[in-house]
Structure 1
Amino acid sequence: MADRRIADRRTDDMGITGTTPPSSAPGRWWPPGLARRDTEAREFMDAPDCDPGRLDRTYRQFRTVNRLVSGWRRVYRQWIRPRLDTERPTTLLDIGFGGGDIPRALTTWAARDRLVLHTTAIDPDDRALRHVAGLPARGVHFEQASSADLVARGDRFDMVISNHLLHHLDATAMEALLADSRALARGLVLHNDLARHPAGYHLFAVATLPLARGSFVHQDGLLSIRRSYRRPELQTVVPTGWRVTSMFPQRLLLTHDGTPR
């Protein structure tokens, strides 16, 4: 998993620090701080001693934020639902469930479509597990574990997914996650993440400003966008066989399909 230390330096709510755009930056000028991926900043909620009240509100607000920007309803219709069956159970693993809203939503949508989906969701952070303990499970098995723990256990699933996880990882952790994903998945792997872009950054900054004092959604969301990839950047750091596609709004979908044809 990603290094969960808070960065020593702090940014203001707009979160831009000055850097010179590299020669490989996008063709049109981008604001300093977005032309290059920020690999130093750490999200405030990842600090072990962060305010528990703000953390709990952040977990609860993930549901609204993900519903508006993550595109999982579309991913479900296009990628997941066609692989489900009305009688044969399909197993799905969510790595790094955070607030638990994504696995609960997927399982609910499948049930409404009268399809059988058995979902397991893991997160190594015990605070995430404590949060979901107070929520209706809706058919999801939540567990405090890492992907490496499940690989060591010999677990396998028909599909493996994650949401907003890739931008947390350094090169070593990214390599480990992708290897674990393939080891755990019999078929499809879907890693859904943010795409770094000025338009998305400034829109998110304005839209979430009312949440800045009550939770970490505003500050950490801006840090996450700065840490996220552009499509060409992500494609260059993943092994052969992984495909990066763009998705509206400002999304990247990293996929690997090991399903027998």
Structure 2
Amino acid sequence: MPDFSKRSTEEEIMDDFTLPETELFPVLEGLERINTVLGGYQVFYDAFKQLNLKSSETVSDWGCGGGDGLRKLARWAKRRHLSIRFTGLDATPATIRFAKLRAASFSNIKFIQADVLKDVQAEKYDYVISSLFTHHFDDRNWVVLIQKMLASCRKAVIINDLHRHPLAYYSFIATARLFSRTTMIRQDGALSVLRSFTKQDLVNLLQGAGIKKYKIKWMWAFRWQIIIYKT
């Protein structure tokens, strides 16, 4: 039985920025299928309804992976007649190549290779978001990351990440067996849950980052929606 009492510090395979396309592309395709099945994009749809996203605003996705979240958001915004510009940032070259290929038909999405923890982000956006990204960082770097995200936004930061819970862990294992044959997804996905957060973890981390105005909401399937408001 895994230890759910604290965050795991074990690294995931996908933490390796040098992974080649042959390994990464099938994984990114599989993750999009699983996110679609589990309704992972609802966290952002719900948040932007609360925040009343408006035309001409800008959104940046840090740790954007294959860009599936931005493509889903672009379609969602288009259905609501919202003209939004999206920018995805990711440190892995092969991931950025995949994201650009998949979003080639979207004129309002661009991707930039960048290590968001190390590189200076000069451009500001109305909203900075991340999906299943912040659990990749230990507590100290999590605080640094959130402070950088907040400094780069004008209005709010939206975080979509996992709830560390036994049901989430075993449910993911079952789902991955059904929807993916990729070993990396099965191993990293289960480990992602162990590296993720309880609500108290998030409260402690946000306090450690000096964040005072925020909201934490639990959503299906075992997702945390964290909205940090610019003050």
Equivalence for 2:56: 89
Equivalence for 1:247: 219
**Closer/same/farther in 2, CA of residues 235 and 70 from structure 1, 3 Å limit:** farther
| 1:95-135 superposed Cα distances (whole Å, 9 cap, x missing partner) | 01011100111011101211111111111111211212322
Is 1:161 matched up with 2:129? yes
Equivalence for 1:54: 23
Written as runs of structure 1 = structure 2, the 5 A alignment for 1:41-190 is: 41-48=10-17, 50=19, 52-69=21-38, 71-76=40-45, 78-81=46-49, 83-85=52-54, 88-137=55-104, 138=106, 139-147=108-116, 149-151=119-121, 153=122, 155-190=123-158
Q: CA deviation at 1:237?
A: 1.6
Distance in 2 (alpha carbons) for counterparts of 1:211 and 1:49: 26
**Secondary structure of 2:119's match?**
helix
Q: CA deviation at 1:83?
A: 2.3
Q: Give the percent of matched residue pairs that are identical in Structure 1 and Structure 2.
A: 28
**Contact 1:84–1:116, Cα closer than 8 Å, also in 2:** no
Equivalence for 1:36: 6
**Contact 1:119–1:141, Cα closer than 8 Å, also in 2:** yes
| 1:1-24 superposed Cα distances (whole Å, 9 cap, x missing partner) | xxxxxxxxxxxxxxxxxxxxxxxx
**Higher Cα Rg: structure 1 or 2?**
1
- Alignment equivalent of 2:185, drawn from 214, 217, 221: 217
**Secondary structure of 2:71's match?**
helix
Distance in 1 (alpha carbons) for counterparts of 2:15 and 2:165: 23
Question: Which consecutive segments of 4 or more residues in structure 1 shift more than 6 A?
Answer: none
> What is the aligned length?
223
Q: CA deviation at 1:169?
A: 0.4
**Contact 1:70–1:251, Cα closer than 8 Å, also in 2:** no
Name whichever of 219-228 and 164-173 sits farther off: 164-173
**Closer/same/farther in 2, CA of residues 96 and 32 from structure 1, 3 Å limit:** closer
**Secondary structure of 1:232's match?**
helix
- TM-score between both structures, scaled by the size of structure 2: 0.87
Q: CA deviation at 1:222?
A: 0.4
**Closer/same/farther in 2, CA of residues 51 and 193 from structure 1, 3 Å limit:** same
Distance in 2 (alpha carbons) for counterparts of 1:134 and 1:255: 30
**Contact 2:43–2:160, Cα closer than 8 Å, also in 1:** no
**Secondary structure of 1:106's match?**
helix
| 1:230-258 superposed Cα distances (whole Å, 9 cap, x missing partner) | 11112112233243322222111222112
| 1:51-73 superposed Cα distances (whole Å, 9 cap, x missing partner) | 64232100111211222335323
Distance in 2 (alpha carbons) for counterparts of 1:70 and 1:146: 27
Distance in 2 (alpha carbons) for counterparts of 1:210 and 1:79: 29
Q: Name stretches of at least 5 consecutive residues in structure 2 with no aligned partner.
A: none
Which amino acid counterpart does residue 57 of structure 1 have in structure 2?
P
Could you say which structure has the higher helix fraction?
2
- TM-score between both structures, scaled by the size of structure 1: 0.78
**Contact 1:162–1:191, Cα closer than 8 Å, also in 2:** yes
RMSD: 2.1
Distance in 1 (alpha carbons) for counterparts of 2:43 and 2:178: 28
**Contact 2:125–2:152, Cα closer than 8 Å, also in 1:** yes
